Structure 1
Amino acid sequence: MWNKARSSAPLLIIITLLSLILEGCSLLGIRTTDEARYTVEKKVGNIEIRRYEPVMIVETYVNEPNFRDATDQSFRRLFDYISGANVSANDISMTAPVIAEPQEEKGKIVAMTSPVIASPSKTENERQGWILKFVLPDKFTINNSPQPTDPLVCLREVPEKRVAAISYSGLWSESNYQKHVNQLSDWLNSNNYSSISLASYAGYDPPWALPFLRRNEILIDVLP
């Protein structure tokens, strides 16, 4: 018994060290999760025009205008889905980023690919709620993605699209969000790009990552 315990000790030490290394990487802004695939067509400072490949997402809507309150409710639903709350009872690895999209009409989910001209997203007092989205790994399609068991969670296939992105660091705040929405919208207007979606917030880091090393983005779909 003692020898068996001693022989398993190195393995436990290795597992513990790997866990600490991965947590340390996240803390220091070194990301270990996969990301949605895209190519950069143009880059100017912290702004990029990207071409995203088709992707599967799982999403849920919360009728709550405050970002933190909405994401607290919706994150648990989506995390439960990737943790086995699906008809196959499968665990699904996370893929960055986690995307939050504001909604202007109560209870209405607007597809990200809808061909409508959208102004910058509304302020907290004007918006109705948020849709939170997790990107699924590349191997999943509309045909093989496990169906959610929660009726408030749904799957959607997003086709290839062109997206404008502005990156910044720091923690979430309404003022920081609006500041970068306005900066990206102004840049698009001055460079003759046509926006076709509301501005979404994309986060790439866990809550414990250091603020100045965090990667946040504002994403706006633009005409191809």
Structure 2
Amino acid sequence: MEKKTWKLMVAICVTVYLVPSINAIESPHYSVIHSESDFEIRIYKKSTWMSAPVNHLSFHQATKLGFHRLFQYIQGANLNFSRIPMTKPVLTSIVPGAGPLHSSSYVVRFYLPVKFQATPPLPLPELNLKPVSWPSHCVAVRKFSGFAGDSNVVTEAEKLATILGRSQWANLTSSDNKIAYSIAQYNSPFRIFNRVNEVWVNVEGSESDNCMSSGMATY
């Protein structure tokens, strides 16, 4: 039964991502503060996400299991019986630890549409989901193509760390150790070509100082 449910979920997600719609798929709002060929610094506006914690050694399996619960939530498994439109990206945050993927657990996140930002429908308790409000914050972002999976997410995150180490944001990744980095996935699982993924790392700074701490050199 679980296998059939997962296949149905994938099929619906494929339809949402690939079939043109009058209403565009919503994404969190941000401004680009700094851009280079291989990374950029963004300021993400205040936003609310529904979060699914997952204890698993596999990034791929954790994302699959977490999104399965989130999918049930947006299909009506909430106290309002509300159906919530799909958004993007699906964000999997890696929590630091000693596991083989440099992690011990994950949090899979779903960005809530503007209509539900202020008052998210409460999920059914058995789904173990939690709405989380993020303040405006700075994020370093690096894009990569293909499928995000156990074989490449650590490597892609290390590439971003190396790039930041040569930039004016060296040593300014966020001191919040609850999240090591996040992987944002924008496409349906059935899309083969021109896939878009991103590595996100929080950096110190705020919107008022354009994500730059005092004393940083500027271009």
Normalised to the residue count of structure 2, the TM-score between the two structures is 0.76
- C-alpha contact (below 8 Å) 1:52/1:162 kept by paired residues: yes
- C-alpha contact (below 8 Å) 1:49/1:163 kept by paired residues: yes
- C-alpha contact (below 8 Å) 2:184/2:198 kept by paired residues: yes
2:173 to 195, 198, 215: 195
Aligned equivalents of 2:75 and 2:149: distance in 1? 28
1:209 to 170, 173, 191: 191
- C-alpha contact (below 8 Å) 1:168/1:217 kept by paired residues: yes
Measured after TM superposition, the shift of residue 123 of structure 1 is 6.0
Q: Which moved more, 1:32-41 or 1:153-162?
A: 32-41
| Rg larger in structure | 1
Show the counterpart of 1:98. 90
Residue 221 in structure 1 maps to residue 202 in structure 2: yes
Aligned equivalents of 1:176 and 1:79: distance in 2? 25
Aligned equivalents of 2:117 and 2:147: distance in 1? 33
Root-mean-square deviation (Å): 2.4
1:170 to 142, 146, 154: 146
Percent identity of paired positions between Structure 1 and Structure 2: 28
Aligned equivalents of 1:25 and 1:130: distance in 2? 24
Unaligned stretches of 5+ residues in structure 1: 1-21, 106-121
Aligned equivalents of 1:43 and 1:205: distance in 2? 23
Normalised to the residue count of structure 1, the TM-score between the two structures is 0.74
- C-alpha contact (below 8 Å) 1:85/1:150 kept by paired residues: no
- C-alpha contact (below 8 Å) 1:47/1:164 kept by paired residues: yes
Deviation per CA, 1:93-128: give whole Å up to 9, x if none. 1221110011235xxxxxxxxxxxxxxxx6635421
List, as ranges, runs of 4+ consecutive aligned residues in structure 1 with deviation greater than 3 Å.
Answer: 22-25
Q: Which moved more, 1:172-181 or 1:36-45?
A: 172-181
Instruction: Describe the shift of the 1:77–1:24 C-alpha distance in structure 2 as closer, same or farther (beyond 3 A).
Output: closer
Task: Kindly provide the amino acid, as one letter, of the partner of residue 145 in structure 1.
Answer: P
Aligned equivalents of 1:178 and 1:45: distance in 2? 21
Written as runs of structure 1 = structure 2, the 5 A alignment for 1:134-153 is 134-142=110-118, 144-151=119-126, 152-153=128-129
Aligned equivalents of 1:207 and 1:84: distance in 2? 22
SS in 2 for 1:183: helix
- Aligned pair count reads 183
